[in-house]
Structure 1
Amino acid sequence: MPFYVPRNGSIALSEDHMKVLLKRYDKDGDGRLSKKELQAAFRNSGLHFSGFRARRALHHADSNHDGFIGNDEMKELVIYAARWGFTVK
């Protein structure tokens, strides 16, 4: 199920739904999201400047500075991404 930036007729996602959708982009199955995986998630959501947004999301949510968003950091990523108003149709 793709997710989108708000448009007419869209429904706001809960934090739990956003976590599930973002975790789908963990292509290597290591339980973490890399910058490349975040960029794909943002690009597929229809956001412009997906590379920039992925860097900013990592900067904001990567508390241990390992270059990945792990399960323990996912809540901060979701809070940060929610500012952009992710929605699903």
Structure 2
Amino acid sequence: MAIRGVASTREEDMTLEEFKEWLKQFDADGDGRISRNELREALRRRGRGRGWLTAWRSDRALRHADKDSSGFLDDSEIENLVAFAQKDLGMKISTW
């Protein structure tokens, strides 16, 4: 499975496992979960918005993906985040 931005280049393509590894680098406190602020930083670095737009998108993404309402994303919720990214952040998921 690959995740690709709508206007992406080959360098932006990644598998689901690569996406998980990329996201883990933003786990600043090392607790194995992604917080709202950590997700905001990931989206900012990925170029999916700036300032208030990044905050708004990260809040929406967390609300969509955080099925247990803990305020954090764990491994079991990453696929929910991928679905959100595909639908609302303009990323395309395809199988190769």
* TM-score bracket relative to the smaller structure: 0.7 to 0.9
Greater RCO, 1 or 2 (C-alpha within 8 Å, sep 6+): 1
The amino acid that maps onto 2:81 is L
CA distance in 1, matches of 2:76, 2:25: 16
1:85 aligns with 2:91: yes
- Counting matched residue pairs gives 83
The TM-score with structure 2 as length reference comes to 0.73
1:70 aligns with 2:74: yes
1:16 equivalent in structure 2: 17
Query: Which has the larger share of helix?
Result: 2
The TM-score with structure 1 as length reference comes to 0.78
CA distance in 2, matches of 1:5, 1:66: 28
5+ unaligned residues in a row in structure 1: which ranges? none
5+ unaligned residues in a row in structure 2: which ranges? none
CA distance in 2, matches of 1:74, 1:27: 17
Query: Which has the larger share of strand?
Result: 2
Percent identity between matched residues is 34
